[in-house]
């Protein structure tokens, strides 16, 4: 069987599911009353059926003859005994106690007719609900005689049915999340999430957010993270549903932001939802930014968060980091966050950071992580604060000999020349004042730079 027909059949199943949960309105009430009339007075006195609920293009197999559709007993051209066969199936199902395995029914329509006409559930909604929740379990086990429904299991569509059924069950949260983290089901899950209608999507979201701790544990798994990211992308135009997901994620914010896979889900929320919808995440980030900045993984995740952040939430986080720049500049992980913020080239916060670090540049220049921070400051609009510290240090040539300090001196010479700063000549003169010291160790690199001419790059 070709894949396109099988996928169309699966979409039909989704339509049935929608039909069973959304209700019909006034036209469906008339349809139901006429169905009972058919059952009570006979087929010859029944009225012709209404317009089909589904377009003809959905029927791709002889299994469902043209102009026939799933419903509550309306079938055009019933003189061809099509309905009679369905009612035979209905009677057989009623006497046999309604087996839910469609392998024992004549066809899908027969099962639906049996459920309605014999009082199973009492109305169309319960009939279709019973069909979805019970019959599909048997349908995917059928081996022959079902036209376009054959070989669903080869495509993994049975797993898709399980997914939707769990979304509507009372106790399906844990099993539903287990499916989301399954490597074998990730492709089907993603296709299903993109194919379901609004009501079905709402059921899925409600189920997976009902137990936030289970959701958090699922997200830190590789395929769980990918599945939830896909779900968030689909929720782009569903503000209430995406807010429900964000609310659940905020409860495990620190755990997610110290996990590479978890942080990707948080960042996806920032990219998809607006700042108001993400307010809970911004509030959590503001509370935890210093803690995250000191964490080996958290510092990387925080940098990603800052990059995707927007508006006032972003400004508040940057302000906290700038305020604590002295502390962060000397932390093995925190200095990465400070470098990242300086690299954003925000003139307000760069000025604040460089100003707060004044008086600490000499010590930072001789440290591995700190020297990178100083170089970032030299290439910002707060360069003057660094130069003032360097020129006021009476052992500048000794700093030039340091394994990390020599990089700072090189960066200072290049930055001042590029900016045509008068401090460039002052730096050169100070360094040349102690050539003997400068010509040993790492100082020789600085000496050669001056002798060969400082480039503008």
**DSSP secondary structure of 284-305:** HHHHHHHHHHTSTTHHHHHHHH
Separation between Cα atoms, residue 112 and residue 80, nearest integer Å = 19
Q: Does residue 331 form part of some domain?
A: no
Residues of the chain with pLDDT under 70: 1-176, 185
pLDDT for 3 equals: 53
- pLDDT given for residue 168 in this prediction: 54
Total-model pTM: 0.65
Residue numbers of the domain that contains 406: 338-457
Of 90, 124, 155, which residue sits at a domain end?
155
Q: Would 328 be classed as within a structural domain?
A: no
Q: Is 395 exposed, middle or buried (0-12, 13-18, 19+ CB in 10 A)?
A: exposed
Residue that finishes a domain, picked among 293, 323, 353:
323
- 125 & 219 share domain: no
Say how far apart CA 128 and CA 291 lie, in whole Å.
Answer: 52
Rg (CA), the chain: 34
Distance between CA atoms of residues 298 and 347, nearest Å: 25
Closest CA to 263 of 284, 239, 242, 236: 284
> Looking at 128, 155, 182, which one is the last position of a domain?
155
Q: Tell me if 421 is assigned to some domain.
A: yes
358 and 456 fall within a common domain: yes
Asked whether residue 222 falls in the same domain as residue 258, the answer is yes
- Kindly state whether residue 347 falls inside one of the protein's structural domains: yes
On whether both 346 and 203 belong to a single domain, the answer is no
- State residue 131's pLDDT score: 35
Label residues 10-39 b or e (16+ Cβ within 10 Å = b): bebbbebbbbbbeebeeebeebbebbeebb
186, 271: one domain: yes
Asked if 305 and 348 sit in the same domain, the reply is no
Angstrom distance (rounded) from CA 85 to CA 109: 10
Domain count, the chain: 3
Output the pLDDT for position 162. 55
Residue 261 counted as domain residue: yes
What number of CA atoms fall less than 13 Å from residue 202's CA on the CB side? 9
Q: Which of 202, 195, 199 is nearest to 245 (CA)?
A: 202
Which pLDDT belongs to residue 194? 82
Is the same domain home to 196 and 125? no
Give the CA distances from residue 165 to residues 116, 131, 239, in Å, rounded to whole numbers and listed in that order: 21, 11, 24
CB 166 within 8 A of CB 172: yes
> What is the structure's pLDDT at 204?
85
If asked whether residues 221 and 298 sit together in one domain, one would say yes
Q: How many CB atoms lie within 10 A of CB 430?
A: 16
The candidate with the shortest Cα–Cα distance to 384, out of 342, 344, 417, 355, is: 355
| Residues 246 and 295 placed together within one structural domain of the fold | yes
| Distance from C-alpha of 75 to C-alpha of 209, rounded to nearest angstrom | 42
With left for phi above 0 and alpha for psi between -120 and 50, is residue 25 left, alpha or beta? left
In this structure, the answer to whether residues 118 and 175 fall within a common structural domain is no
Instruction: Report how far Cα 354 is from the mean position of its chain's Cα atoms.
Output: 37
Same-domain status, 144 and 198: no
- Do both 349 and 431 map to the same domain? yes
């Amino acid at each position: 069987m070709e894949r396109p027909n099988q996928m169309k059949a699966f979409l039909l199943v989704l339509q049935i599911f929608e039909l069973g949960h959304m209700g019909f309105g006034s036209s469906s009430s008339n349809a139901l009353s006429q169905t009972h009339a058919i059952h009570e007075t006979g087929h010859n006195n029944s009225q012709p059926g209404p317009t089909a609920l589904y377009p003809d293009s959905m029927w791709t197999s002889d299994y469902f003859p043209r102009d026939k559709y799933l419903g509550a007993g309306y079938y055009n051209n019933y003189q061809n005994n099509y309905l009679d066969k369905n009612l035979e199936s209905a009677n057989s199902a009623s006497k046999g106690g309604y087996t839910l395995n469609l392998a024992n029914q004549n066809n899908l329509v027969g099962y639906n007719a049996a459920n309605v006409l014999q009082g199973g559930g009492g109305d169309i909604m319960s009939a279709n609900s019973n069909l979805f929740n019970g019959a599909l379990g048997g349908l995917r086990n059928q081996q022959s005689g079902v036209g376009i429904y054959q070989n669903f299991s080869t495509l993994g569509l049975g797993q898709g049915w399980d997914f939707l059924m769990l979304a509507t069950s009372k106790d399906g949260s844990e099993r539903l999340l287990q499916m989301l983290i399954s490597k074998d089901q990730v492709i089907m899950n993603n296709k299903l999430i993109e194919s379901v209608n609004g009501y079905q999507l709402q059921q899925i979201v409600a189920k997976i957010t009902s137990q936030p701790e289970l959701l958090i544990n699922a997200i830190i798994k590789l395929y769980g993270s990918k599945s939830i990211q896909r779900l968030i992308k689909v929720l782009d135009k569903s503000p209430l549903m995406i807010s429900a997901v964000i609310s659940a994620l905020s409860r495990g914010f620190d755990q997610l932001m110290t996990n590479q896979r978890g942080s990707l889900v948080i960042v996806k929320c920032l990219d998809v939802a607006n700042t108001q919808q993400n307010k809970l995440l911004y509030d959590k980030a503001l509370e935890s930014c210093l803690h995250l900045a000191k964490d080996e993984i958290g510092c990387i995740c925080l940098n990603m968060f800052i990059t995707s952040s927007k508006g006032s939430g972003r400004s508040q986080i940057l302000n906290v980091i700038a305020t604590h720049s002295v502390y962060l500049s000397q932390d093995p992980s925190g200095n990465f966050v400070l470098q990242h913020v300086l690299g954003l080239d925000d003139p307000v916060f760069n000025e604040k950071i460089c100003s707060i670090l004044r008086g600490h540049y000499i010590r930072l220049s001789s440290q591995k992580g700190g020297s990178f921070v100083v170089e970032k400051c030299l290439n910002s609009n707060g360069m003057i604060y660094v130069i003032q510290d360097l020129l006021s240090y009476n052992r500048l040539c000794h700093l030039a000999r340091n394994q990390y300090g020599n990089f700072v001196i090189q960066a200072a010479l290049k930055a001042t020349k590029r900016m045509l700063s008068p401090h460039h000549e002052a730096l050169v003169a100070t360094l040349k004042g102690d050539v003997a010291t400068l010509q040993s160790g790492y100082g020789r690199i600085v000496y050669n730079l001056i002798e060969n001419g400082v480039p503008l790059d």
